[in-house]
Chain A
Amino acid sequence: MSGARLDLDGVGKSFRGLRAVHDVSFSVPAGAIHALIGPNGAGKTTIFNMIAGVYAPDAGAVRLDGRAISGLRPDRVCDAGVGRTFQLVKPFKGLSVLENVTVGALHRTADLARARDSADAILSRLGLFERRHQLAESLTLPDRKRLEVARALATEPKLLLLDEVMAGLRPTEVDVMVGFLRELNGKTGLTILLIEHVMRAVMALAAEIVVASYGEKIAEGTPQEIARHQAVLDVYLGEPEAP
């Protein structure tokens, strides 16, 4: 398992004339961790959904290792090597934690026993092993977030899209998740793109940050550059009043 490079090239999407995302381009090199941030309604999740195949972009292209994946169905995008989590978690509620992750692992093997084994391995790395026989609906929100990550990882992606997996976690839990993702990235070279509001996690993980506002990319750079970027400060803190 190694990472793949992600390129967004002038991607745009409108819903019934309402422009959700316009002309967004950025790249995540293979093996890098980047973050996508922006105020609510900036179009971050729409961008994720275009990468993951939920929506086909109206304009532009999404490429994974140079191969166009935009317009493919979500299961095809998964085949291509993209794993994703949902902002509003979507566990298979009536199935056990183990079965949830097993479904993901079945993407790589048709053998149920083998899929269970790799699901077990992923669950222990995410600290869910003790809960593997519980129904997913009985999990707390932080555990459900972990389950989302585990299930996506079970498909052995080359690019992992994480949509606000830190939200609702306590600071210590954020640190654990950050540690896990960093280790995962270090060991496997998996490329990670995360949408995140928890800046503690963004600053700790992301080599580069893309900032979106009103559906457009307004800044891109290292965390230090972004922290000083005037347009970003304007978006988050409001524009300075005219003297």
Chain B
Amino acid sequence: MSFARRLVGHAAPRTLWSLVLLLALLLVAPAMLGKYWLSVLILILYFAYVGQAWNILMGFAGQLSLGHALYAGLGGYIAAGLFFHYGIGPWAGVFAAVAAAALAGTIVGYLGFRFSLAGVYFALLTIAFSEFTRIGFDHWEWAGGSAGLFLKVDASSDIANLRGGPLLFYYVILALAAGAFILCRALLESRLGRYWLAIREDAEAAQAVGVPVLRCKLIAIVISAALTALGGVWNAFYYNNLFPETAFAMGRSIEITLAPIIGGLGTLFGPIVGAVVLTGLGEAFTDLGEALGIPGIKQIFYGLALLVIVVYRPAGVWPRLADKLRLGERRR
């Protein structure tokens, strides 16, 4: 009861109804959409989800990680490996996956935060760990080495082992995205969430009013890493293949950061709005590239579009949009 009240708390009825409507639409969407649009929606939800996870660390607690591929990759590899080698289904494997990512997050966080690495220096540490891990997996036989790990593609629906078509993966990622949204809202409306915001704004001042800075930062990175690992497990079973070169790639890490940055750092809706904008732009420019028949045109336009957004909406798309829609969520 108190949890529910806190969740709804000060939210305007207008915001709540909009959310309910959005969720209802997303629940029935597959019935109305073709295969292509369903796959686009799946991508949007995936980026909204991992963006939400990354946003906890950067948007709330103010710690820049450019190595979140580490947690997604680790989670995906462990769940996929357990399934591949021992037939352990992902619903069980996910616990090992999340535990491993949480441990990795603790190590990165402790090294970074204990020695007060801030800003780009902490970011460099996160990149370094992601790269070490990539090289490690390149040489790890169990995980398939650099040749990769492949799950058998199986169209027959087997929910117990997360095997099935796009529809299954759609509902799983929808549940994850909705769950992450609710969790983030609850966290923001808690003491821990407010402590994170205080640390983001000024760690020294936060500590002076009794905020245990190191502990709060560690909790942030552990939650963020664990959620990201869940996304990684989903990702591995959706795509059925894993390569160190892509799973731990720098580009994968950057990809995770884009939706919240474009949507609005530190906001709840930012990652979702950002994922819509980015995936929409990506698909549109892919079509444009194919229509024009010029290779590479997609990347150029995509890059330009991001540039324009960052220049004209440095706080992200969402805060301004929220004002227009009178859904009022300022950056916190």
Contact = CB atoms under 8 A, between A and B. Distances in A.
Interface of A: 52, 54, 73-75, 78-79, 83-84, 86, 90-95, 99, 102-104, 106-107, 110, 112, 115, 151-152, 154-155
Contact of B194 (A79, A90, A103, A152): A103
Interface in B175-218: 189-191, 194-195, 197-198, 200-202, 204-213
Contact of B202 (A83, A90, A112): A90
Nearest to B332: A95
B198 A95 contact: yes
Given A94-B201, A103-B198, 18 more contacts: A52-B208, A74-B207, A75-B207, A75-B211, A78-B207, A79-B210, A83-B209, A91-B205, A94-B197, A94-B331, A95-B198, A102-B194, A103-B197, A106-B191, A110-B191, A112-B194, A152-B208, A155-B209
A94 B266 CA distance: 11
- Nearest first, the 8 closest Cβ-Cβ pairs linking A and B are A92-B201, A78-B210, A90-B205, A107-B210, A74-B207, A104-B209, A103-B198, A110-B191
A92 B198 contact: yes
Contacts of A110: 190-191
Nearest to A151: B209
A90 B204 contact: yes
Given A103-B195, A112-B191, A78 B209 contact: yes
A126 B284 CA distance: 55
A140 B208 CA distance: 22
Contacts of B208: 52, 74-75, 78, 83-84, 86, 90, 152
Contacts of B331: 94
Contacts of A84: 208
B209 A95 contact: no
Contact of B209 (A54, A99, A103, A112): A103
A88 to B, nearest CB: 10
A72 B186 CA distance: 32
Most buried by A among B6, B212, B213: B212
A95 B188 CA distance: 13
A87 to B, nearest CB: 12
A208 B276 CA distance: 64
Contacts of B6: 112
A207 B179 CA distance: 58
A188 B207 CA distance: 24
B331 to A, nearest CB: 7
Contacts of B202: 90-93
A113 B184 CA distance: 18
B197 A95 contact: yes
A231 to B, nearest CB: 33
A155 B331 CA distance: 25
A154 B209 CA distance: 8
Nearest to B211: A75
A73 B207 contact: yes
Nearest to B198: A103
6 contacts: A73-B207, A75-B207, A92-B201, A93-B201, A95-B201, A107-B210
A84 B207 CA distance: 11
Contacts of A154: 209
Nearest to A82: B208
B317 to A, nearest CB: 18
A113 to B, nearest CB: 9
A154 B207 CA distance: 14
A75 B213 contact: yes
Contacts of B210: 75, 78-79, 104, 107, 155
Most buried by A among B190, B206, B208, B212: B208
A112 B187 CA distance: 12
A78 B209 CA distance: 6
B158 to A, nearest CB: 44
B173 to A, nearest CB: 31
B154 to A, nearest CB: 47
Nearest to B205: A90
Given A99-B194, A106-B194, A110-B191, A92 B213 contact: no
Nearest to A78: B210
A73 B214 CA distance: 11
A8 B211 CA distance: 25
A95 B211 CA distance: 16
Given A75-B210, A75-B212, A78-B210, A86 B194 contact: no
A163 to B, nearest CB: 11
A145 B243 CA distance: 55
Nearest to A137: B201
Contacts of B194: 99, 102-103, 106, 112
A110 B190 CA distance: 8
Contacts of B190: 110, 112
B76 to A, nearest CB: 34
Most buried by B among A90, A92, A110: A92
A180 to B, nearest CB: 19
Contacts of A155: 209-210
